[in-house]
Amino acid sequence: MARFLSPETVIDGNAIYLAWLPLCVILSMLLLFGRHAVLPLILAFTVTNTWFMSLPFRQHLVLVFCQLSKALALIRWLLSSVRQTIRTCG
């Protein structure tokens, strides 16, 4: 579904996705539900990756870690900058 909704372009006959929709979903789920969304996201990506790719267990773990680590780091950075702004203003 995400491939159909993501904007794409074709270069040399290959489809290039301009935005990775699952990353947007991860960020929005984390911003809406906070840390309560982490476990469902891990489970959802594990099931999806297992369904679409036949990888060994360790590679599945690395893939899920790579998919979620950037979003979690971004959220952590945003929250720390907001806290720093609140401390300096008030």
pLDDT score of 81: 73
**Across all residues in the chain, what is the average pLDDT?**
79
Pick the closest to residue 18 from 7, 27, 10 (CA basis): 7
Secondary-structure percent of the chain, ordered helix, strand, coil, rounded to 5: 75, 10, 15
pLDDT score of 19: 65
Contact residues for 64 (Cβ-Cβ < 8 A; gap 6+): 42, 45, 46, 49
- DSSP letter assigned to residue 12: T
Q: Is the Cβ–Cβ distance between 23 and 5 less than 8 Å? A: no
Give per-residue pLDDT as tens, 48-85: 888 888 888 888 888 888 888 877 787 778 777 777 77
The neighbour count for residue 60, using CB atoms within 10 Å, is 16
